[in-house]
Chains A and B, each alone.
Chain A
Amino acid sequence: MKRNWLRAILGGLSFGTMLFVFEACYGTPQDNAGFDVLVQGKVKSKATGQAIKGIKVSAVYSPQFQYTDDQGKFSFYVYTGGTFALKFQDTDSIQNGTYQSKDTTLYNARDTVFVDVALENN
């Protein structure tokens, strides 16, 4: 802790926080934003309770999405300030059944959130 204080004081006196934000030669900038949340979950049928494969899970206002796997599971990082929305869509026509879309908003999400969703049949 003492070392971190000394670092901060010396760094602040000379140039500020940029002393701790550097990129190596032939490296990348550091990841300074880091406000991301791991969203994990499972999509199943409300009628049967069975897992649904191939449901498109999208982060609203973002290009990110993922399709559920054989067990209806999905898992991806979402960039967020804490509140974000997910959209669940059946986009594979009649494959794996047909289901209604659903939107879910998550508030004050941090680190990891688990979202289990049941979709109604069309």
Chain B
Amino acid sequence: MKLEQLAQEIGAHVETPAAPGRDDIRDVYAGDRMSDLLGAASEHTLLATHISNHGLLRLIELMDVPAVCLVNGATPDPMVVTTARDAGTALLVSPWGLYETCGRLYAALTSETQRAAPS
């Protein structure tokens, strides 16, 4: 699903947009352990996390993930925003907690696959 559309469906605010051609989200990984997030990164994975510090900055800088979604309406550090913009990683902020954010992401992505399946 296109990132713009996904953000809209879950009601998240787009802090920095996705880089052109890197906005196709196929799965989501949520977690707060850095090793897990690193291991889950792929070119189609959105990472949802509480981590909002220098670890997050490196995650964006090093892993080339298409999008990271912060939760609980967290305000990202200006340095993280700049890094995300430079890296071409979309930075979303969801007003919901991690549980509800994931629920909404799951619903949005599965309903799209179901729509796509019959054709």
Judge: A and B partners, yes or no. Answer: no
Chain B residues close to A by CB (< 8 Å): none
